[in-house]
Amino acid sequence: MGRKPKYHSTEERENARRAARRAYYQRNIETERTKALARWHASRGQQAASTSDAAVQEVVEPPKLPATTLLLGVTRVVDNHVNWADLEDALRADLAGWRAPYETDRQAYEGLTHALIHSNPTSTRCLKALRHIQRVSTLVPQICRVAHAADTILQARPRHYTNMFLIVRREAAFIDTTLEQLKILHERGWLQERFDERELDWQTM
pLDDT beneath 50: ranges in the chain: 46-52, 55, 58-59
- How much of the chain is helix, strand and coil, in % rounded to 5? 75, 0, 25
Question: Among candidates 188, 177, 27, which has minimal Cα distance to 98?
Answer: 177
Q: How far apart are CA 184 and CA 128, in angstroms?
A: 16
Q: How far apart are CA 94 and CA 6, in angstroms?
A: 46
Q: How far apart are CA 152 and CA 161, in angstroms?
A: 10
pLDDT tens column, 56-113: 554 456 567 999 999 999 889 999 899 999 999 999 999 999 998 999 999 999 999 9
Omega of the bond prior to 101 within 30 degrees of 0, cis?
yes
Percentage above 90 pLDDT, the chain: 55
Give the number of other Cβ atoms within 10 Å of residue 173's Cβ.
14
Range 152-157 contact pairs with CB under 8 angstroms and sequence separation of 24 or more: 153/78, 153/79, 153/80, 154/84
This model's pTM is above 0.75: no
Specify whether the CB–CB gap between 22 and 199 falls below 8 A: yes
